[in-house]
Amino acid sequence: MLNTIHYGVSSAHPASHYFDICLTIAEPDATGQVLWLPDWIPGSYMIRDFSRHLTPLKAFTRNGQSVSIAAIDKSSWRCAPVVGELLVRYRVYAWDMSVRTALLDQFGGFFNGTSLFLAVAGQEQRPVTITIEQPQGAEVSGNTDEWRVATTLTRAGAEPLGFGDYCAANYDELIDHPVELGVFDYEAFDVDGVPHAIAITGAHRGNTPRLINDLKRICETQIRFFEEPAPFSEYLFLLRVVGSGYGGLEHRSSTSLICNRDDLPSANEPNAPSAGYTQLLGLCSHEYFHSWNVKRLKPDVMVAPNLRQPVHTELLWFFEGITSYYDDQFLLRSGVINVEAYAKLLSQNITRHLQTPGRVVQTLADSSFDAWTKYYQQNENTPNVVVSYYVKGAVMALCLDLMLRAQDHDLDNVMRDLWQRYGRELKGVSNENIADVLISKLGSAAEQFLQQALHSTEELPWQSLLEDAGAKVTLSAANSVSLGVRTQSADDGGVQLRVVDPSGAAAAAGLSAGDVIIALDNLRVNAANWDKRIAQYAAGDSISVYAFRRDEWLSCRCVVAAAAHDTCSLVFTEDPSVWPASLASSN
């Protein structure tokens, strides 16, 4: 224990959703030890104030004498000076079904270190040990002996998948290994000599062998993409299946994922994966690619980020957008999907981009920089004023790839070049570093394109570049007419306006997000018949609209507009020498 920091993790009553933490500091600061908890988790760019889930902290000496502890601010505390070891006990409320925080009940648990582990100020680089104890309490589901632990934390005495002692080289490593505990399905598999595994939590009847086979092909393709051994000695997919949910968060040698139960491959899954299963594989591919692009090849400001405040960067278009471009490409390159399926995925992403009004309001660089306050704090007006650095970033990556291919290069070479220069040594990459590599291959055209794509709202030249590469591009309207709204079913019946385009017909009539429309031209409407009713009108028709705003009645007349041609469909040439058909066999 000498010169180390130790965390004990236990729970006396899991159904209460509390983790009990005991922090032991062998050599506390003689002037009074300061402790702090992160306010955000790397990979999710929003201040989350994890400290709100901590109960009051209590500090003691080794012999049990109470030590005073006082808050400095919302997420840091100072203990009174002590001689010898300092023990700090506290509880963490864990009842968030997400990949970012912590969850605990009688059926199992999950946590990220950013939610549980107080950092010891001034000693963040010291080695740490962790003891994860088996939960107590008669209410624990089934036999607690059936509970296991899934994590890539280094074992320091614990058996494989067992409770017990683990360790980390420092605080940064400690918080980058999420932990799953409970009853789960666990399957190990090998990828180019690197041990991989998947732990699936939640009731399901998925075809696990099919999932593992497809994951293995995707992982192999990505490892070989960078032309060197994987940057980790093992890798773990932590997958929680639920009735409705979706999300993922990358870590240095693992990822935590949530998916719909029905998205798992079925026992009779056809050779061509279903839309839901394709989405799950794309999520896995995305988070796995982050092992290189963001966990190691990362923005210079994220090499040693301050976890107490926002860390702004204009580069999320690169680290999320380019990853979003490659996640589907690796489904194609690994042979998990065919060219036609890839064309459909690419078409859907372009369509999402075209159907976002915010693309003509916010630049891509601003979208990245303002992620903390805009993209991650969305409301009903977000689609009107924000462009997604995931979606537009992927379209930008497509454009770069096609421009590079026209000059006998490709985006693959750029990624490998940046990895060799900056990623392997964890140097951090800047806007200028990326621009320099692109300019070395595209010349002044790169400068002009980066200015347009990142600092203006001018439409990207994706269509002309695709057509030059041999793709047939068709733009059509999803419907004949439009009110310029996105809708959802209202709790009390009718149709609630979820988003209202300020340039659309509904906004011109005075309707707002949140309004509940109950009738059009004296006929009742609901979520089930809304699309059919709107499709009965022609552009220029005037509709009597009856609605409620909160609990007050309103009526208006709305002049229907022609729907925009913002639905993209792509068909690639059958010539295998033309991009992207050749990608399916390039590895």
Contact 101, 50 (CB under 8 A): yes
Residue 203, Cβ neighbours under 10 Å: how many?
Answer: 9
Instruction: Return the closest-CA partner of residue 155 out of 136, 132, 183.
Output: 132
pLDDT score of 425:
87
Q: What pLDDT, on a 0 to 100 scale, did the predictor assign at position 482?
A: 95
Q: For residue 164, give the 3-state DSSP assignment.
A: strand
Q: How far apart are CA 237 and CA 186, in angstroms?
A: 10
**Measured at the alpha carbon of residue 98, what is the angle toward residues 96 and 104, in degrees to the nearest 5?**
45
Q: Which letter does DSSP use for residue 380 in this model?
A: T
Residue 586: the pLDDT is 46
Residues 6+ apart with CB under 8 A from 536: none
Query: Between helices 322-333 and 275-289, what is the axis angle to 10°?
Result: 120
Spatial distance between the Cα atoms of 3 and 19, rounded to a whole number of angstroms: 25
pTM of the entire predicted model: 0.95
Are the C-beta atoms of residues 343 and 332 closer than 8 Å to each other? no
DSSP 189-202: EEETTEEEEEEEES
H or E segment and range at residue 287: helix 275-289
Report pLDDT for 581.
54
pLDDT at 382: 97
Q: E strands within 75-229? A: 76-79, 86-93, 102-105, 108-111, 119-120, 128-132, 148-150, 154-155, 164-168, 179-182, 185-191, 194-201
Residues of the chain predicted below pLDDT 70: 1-3, 137-145, 574-587
The domains located in the chain, with CATH, are: 5-181 (2.60.40.3650), 184-274 (3.30.2010.30), 292-471 (1.10.390.10), 481-562 (2.30.42.10)
Single out the residue of 220, 229, 207, 219 nearest to residue 255, CA to CA.
Answer: 219
